[in-house]
Structure 1
Amino acid sequence: MLAPSVGHYVFVRDDGMPLDFIPGQFIQVHFEYADGTATKRSYSLATIHDHALGPGEAVEIAVSYVPGGAATALFEGLPPGGHVDASGPYGRFCLMPGDRNRRYLLIGTGTGVTPYRAMLPQLETWIAQRGIEVVLLFGARTPAELLYGDDFRAFADRHPQFRFVPCFSRELPDHPHPDVRQGYVQQHLAEFAPNPETDIAYLCGNPNMVDACFEALKQAGLPVPQIRREKYVSSK
């Protein structure tokens, strides 16, 4: 469990082949409701390519549990060694090789931070090769809901060009890091002075947060092509 209501799942393909994906993409898990109606849910890939299982062999996702949810029942009832049917990868919420910006503003809430975990190896390469800076603003209600927080803090400790800024709306940690903030991510975005000359921003998670930050970034002068969005809506 990553949080009281979020599980981390690791899969491998039945055929033993790696899942070739671009960090930021998602898969769709296919299943049926109790009445036999086919449905599906989308999950961003959390996989870091240098996983211990080998390059690309693991397929990692974070699953939010929704009370009474059909997908929640599927995953909660899945034993070790259990199977799911999935398709993909899909999506274009990815770092673009042609980008020439000097800084990335990565903004997320809840499981919307999942694609940023998968991007860490790519960001590490670009920090070394292009000298980019990265700010990750991550909104959570409490420290217990800070998904993959240890991964992001460790990465920030190794790379001074990467700042990890957790924003807690309800409860602060007992001994907060200097980069911890209280409130919502959109309240702290201005602190980092979004700049159309240097920045590309990514927004992923709660639709209200995405909309608020999108408007704030536009007001700061960022053109729409420099703001990349993906909204997460929990569905049963």
Structure 2
Amino acid sequence: MAIAHFPLKLVARRMIAPTVAHLSFERDDGQPLPCIPGQFIQIHFQYADGTPARRSYSIAVGRALDAAPDARVEIAVSYVPGGAATALFEALPIGATLDASGPFGRFCLLPQDANRRYLLIGTGTGITPYRAMLPQLERLMAERGVEVVLLQGARTPAELLYGDEFRAFAEAHPGFRYLPCFSRELPADGSPQAHPDVRHGYVQNVLPELAPDPAGDIAYLCGNPDMVDASFEALKTVGLPVPMIRREKYVSNK
């Protein structure tokens, strides 16, 4: 079956880190985009020599599963020096359209899950699926008392994507714990990002603190392939069944 394509119109752009832009689009054909939190779209374009190219981006906007689909599409884009996709997005004016397809992917919360806790681990733009999942997680916490831990890795406070949103969500929902983890630089004392749940190091090194429970946890890993592999091995070592460790690797493409 041929993949259906549709036009996306850029309606807003803002930088959320020194090299990461949050882009807001709407379908420009008047149709909604039915999707499940955790899925991604593909943007299609051409290299300078006319060769077809495409890039995948997780949908970063959240909506409840029973909400009517709408035309909104939000993504986080890492700007890579010399990258063809970077040049495309940087030069794209508000109101311009792109060719897109999707949604794709199975990195989603499953309705048959009966776990007691979700461990969500992400680095870089690999955090965007979890932003989209927040309305769904809110319902799961209310309906069956599931607990959620979001462990987010970044090198510095300036590179922490959507941190203010995740912290606000955690403060409003006692069942949701948010742990930012910085590998290079911690927030300055007294800064808005300083918090007792801030950790120093790599996310995979913080996993033992969470005491992963093979009987009650489901883990999601998304982001840097090295982090995903290291966290996967650490979770297997403590006995988490492989089907309960769901992975998606993000590789920065030019």
Assess same fold via TM > 0.5. yes
> Identity across aligned pairs (percent)?
73
The separation in 2 between residues aligned to 1:233 and 1:120, in whole angstroms, is: 24
- Over the residues paired in the alignment, what is the CA RMSD in angstroms? 1.0
* Counterpart pick for 1:128 among 138, 142, 145: 142
Higher strand proportion? 2
In the alignment, which of 145, 148, 151 is matched to residue 137 of structure 1? 151
Look up the SS of the partner of 2:168 in the other structure: helix
| 2:200 pairs with 1:200 | no
Tell me by how many angstroms 1:21 deviates.
0.2
Partner in structure 2 of residue 166 of structure 1: 180
Give the AA of the match of 1:201.
A
Aligned residue identity for 1:27: I
Q: Which amino acid aligns with 2:253?
A: S
Match of 1:218 in 2: 236
Determine the C-alpha separation between the residues in 1 that align with 2:239 and 2:133: 26
Q: Read off the aligned partner of 1:206 and give its amino acid letter.
A: N
Amino acid at match of 1:221: G
Residue deviations 1:171-224 (CA, integer Å, cap 9, x gap): 111231110001110110000000110100000000000000000000010010
CA distance in 2, matches of 1:215, 1:191: 16
Shift of 1:140: 0.2
**SS across alignment from 1:225:** helix
Q: Distance in 1 between matches of 2:179 and 2:31?
A: 36
Please report the TM-score for the alignment, with normalisation by the length of structure 2: 0.90
1:61-87 superposed Cα distances (whole Å, 9 cap, x missing partner): 000001000000000001110111000
- The one-letter amino acid paired with 1:36 is G
Q: Which runs of 5+ in 1 are unaligned?
A: none
- Name segments (4+ residues, structure 1) moved above 6 Å: none
Letter in structure 1 aligned against 2:216? T
**Structure-2 separation of matches of 1:160 and 1:141:** 27
- The aligned length equals 233
- What is the CA deviation profile of residues 90-127 of structure 1, one whole-angstrom value per residue up to 9, with x for unaligned ones? 00000000000000000000000000000000000000
Task: Pick from 33, 38, 57 the counterpart of residue 24 of structure 1.
Answer: 38
- Residue 234 of structure 1 aligns to a residue whose secondary structure is coil
Structure 1 letter corresponding to 2:195? H
Give CA-to-partner distance per residue, 1:50-70, whole Å, 9 cap, x none.
Answer: 7xxx96331000000010000
Aligned counterparts of 2:156 and 2:57: Cα–Cα separation in 1 = 23
Secondary structure of the structure 2 residue equivalent to 1:12 = strand
Match of 2:108 among 94, 100, 104: 94
